[in-house]
Amino acid sequence: MANKWFSAKEVAAHSSESDCWVIIHDKVYDVSSFVNDHPGGKKILLKAAGTDATKQFDAFHGPGVLEKYAHFCIGSVGEPPKEVAAPSATAAIDDDGRIFGDMIPFGDPSWYQDWDSPYYKDSHRRLRKATRHFVDTEIMPFVHEWDEAKQVPMFLFTKCAEMGILAAVAGTGKLPVEYFNVEDTLFFRGGANAIVPPEEFDAFHSFIVGDELARCGSGGVLWGICGGLGIGLPPIIKFGSDELRNRIVPDCLAGRKTICLAITEPSAGSDVANLTTVSNETSDGYIVNGEKKWITNGVFADYFTTAVRTGGEGMGGVSLMVIERSMPGVSTRQMKCSGVWSSGTAYINFEDVAVPRANIVGKENRGFKYIMHNFNHERMGIVTQATRLARVCLEESLKYGSKRKTFGTKLINHPVIRNKLAHMSRQIEATHAWMESVLYQTQTMPEDMQMLKLGGPIALLKAQSTQTLEYCAREACQIFGGLAYTRGGQGEKVERIYREVRAYAIPGGSEEIMLDLGMRQSIKVAQMFGAKL
């Protein structure tokens, strides 16, 4: 951004179609080259030419527009400061990290807003700040573009790897330091002085990265970055042979290759035990035939961690194996879905694909167990994202509601709107508190106990989070009115989130299955521990 200073009089001299400047929030924008392309129209922009158009601008645009068009900024209005500029307001209030973010009520979790919490320490606060900066500058301004293009750019994976994001969300509960160089990442380099010293990494660090990423307000971008990696890689890290791990994991964590999990089929969704992709054994491996459907990242992934029937019927005959895009007989096509557009949801065909024995994950016919191992982690990822997306709906509604006026007063002054905001807030805060409590168990409870005791609560929590998301998305759309019915612009996030609700409520266990499983499992576990039911 240029560091020049202009008087209001100087700006006023640039008020024609070929020479058009406007002042917005004390910054001067030269929009001469944009007049004819302005989505709101040429005339309306020209009417504001040479003037301070802050008020009109704020009424019609979301905050991301100025970031995206920062290249039009040629300087500021007023006198240059006599001394070196004071630190920004955010830096001033951010010294001890107790206050962070915009302070919109319930727009961020309570530990951002000066509440005490037993879960977070300085490394969590530093990570929160670094991740937010990355999302604000490298992701948020481009989300709409990527979504409309129906793909995230491949350079995003290397950027995320360089931050340490891919390693943080790789999903094994700890940092997979054997497979990436911590000194190559912003988060983890520097030993004891790192943003997060690697040995301090815990479930809350991973959670913060997922939570802050979800502020981008796009399930497509979120799943584009980590929807495949977060569930496709853990089985390999946990159960793969040394050779398989060393061949695949470092490339995926460095963003050089991408991976996805291929389980669901056209006729086997939540019903994993009945999948029909089959293999015939050969002397050096398998010949695989079958179809997979709704596979996140399948459009571009290099590796498919695939559930294949290698044995008899039911869950005991399923293996996990890594199928590679380069293998003859693999073809993928993009599916047309309501949401998560940029995540590359694919329909996959395997036709006589020869898969070497070395690509089997763990032991033959143990795939069902490995898949089950993944579920708690996958569901907690969905809970994290769904809860933040619900918060985004609330935050956007509060921001919009405090500038949009109807019947002579701001929307937030209408009790009927405040009632909606209240119901959104109470559900988000309740879900968030439960989520933190469960997360804490994932880092204190032995892993075998987690499998037993957390499966039920996590299933219920998943349903809680997606129903909260559904409620908040709906109410936010009502608050935004027509703006939530058009793609892009001020209602961009809520319009998209509303379309993406089902992408959270169905995969990873539909609400119906989650609610039933959650109760069934909880009753069974309680009985095991002595409840007389």
Q: Which positions lie near ligand HEM, rule CB under 6 A?
A: 22, 24, 29, 31, 38-40, 44-45, 48, 53, 56-57, 60-62, 65, 69, 72, 488-490
Residue with the closest Cβ to ligand HEM?
40
**Closer to ligand HEM by Cβ: residue 63 or 87:** 63
Question: What is the phi-psi region of residue 365: left when phi exceeds 0, alpha when psi lies from -120 to 50, beta otherwise?
Answer: left
DSSP string, 337-402: -SS-GGG--EEEEEEEEEEEGGGEESSTT-HHHHHHHHHHHHHHHHHHHHHHHHHHHHHHHHHHHT
CB of 482 to ligand HEM, least distance (A): 8
CB of 432 to ligand HEM, least distance (A): 29
Say if residues 67 and 140 touch (Cβ distance below 8 Å): yes
CB of 66 to ligand HEM, least distance (A): 7
CB of 421 to ligand HEM, least distance (A): 22
CB of 39 to ligand HEM, least distance (A): 4
Say if residues 22 and 53 touch (Cβ distance below 8 Å): yes
**Closer to ligand HEM by Cβ: residue 40 or 80:** 40
CB of 133 to ligand HEM, least distance (A): 22
**Closer to ligand HEM by Cβ: residue 61 or 423:** 61
The three-class DSSP label of residue 219 is helix
**Closer to ligand HEM by Cβ: residue 72 or 188:** 72
**Closer to ligand HEM by Cβ: residue 53 or 208:** 53
User: Cα-flanking dihedrals φ and ψ of residue 321, to 5°?
Assistant: -140, 155
**Closer to ligand HEM by Cβ: residue 71 or 121:** 71
Say if residues 263 and 292 touch (Cβ distance below 8 Å): yes
**Closer to ligand HEM by Cβ: residue 40 or 314:** 40
Residue 458 CA: distances (Å) to CA of 153, 188, 499, 528: 33, 29, 24, 18
Q: How many CB atoms lie within 10 A of CB 528?
A: 10
Q: How far apart are CA 393 and CA 430, in angstroms?
A: 16
User: Cα-flanking dihedrals φ and ψ of residue 287, to 5°?
Assistant: -110, 120
**Closer to ligand HEM by Cβ: residue 65 or 104:** 65
Q: Which of 389, 367, 369 is nearest to 322 (CA)?
A: 367
**Closer to ligand HEM by Cβ: residue 39 or 316:** 39
**Closer to ligand HEM by Cβ: residue 28 or 360:** 28
For residue 334, give the amino acid letter: Q
CB of 483 to ligand HEM, least distance (A): 6
For residue 291, give the amino acid letter: E
Say if residues 307 and 367 touch (Cβ distance below 8 Å): yes
Q: How far apart are CA 68 and CA 142, in angstroms?
A: 8
**Closer to ligand HEM by Cβ: residue 155 or 485:** 485
Q: How far apart are CA 494 and CA 472, in angstroms?
A: 9
CB of 236 to ligand HEM, least distance (A): 41
CB of 69 to ligand HEM, least distance (A): 4
**Closer to ligand HEM by Cβ: residue 29 or 286:** 29
Q: How far apart are CA 521 and CA 448, in angstroms?
A: 15
Residue 414 CA: distances (Å) to CA of 408, 409, 418, 434, 471: 10, 8, 6, 31, 19
DSSP state of 49: T
* Helix 367-401, helix 492-505: angle, nearest 10: 150
For residue 482, give the amino acid letter: G
CB of 498 to ligand HEM, least distance (A): 17
Say if residues 382 and 461 touch (Cβ distance below 8 Å): no
CB of 17 to ligand HEM, least distance (A): 14
CB of 29 to ligand HEM, least distance (A): 4
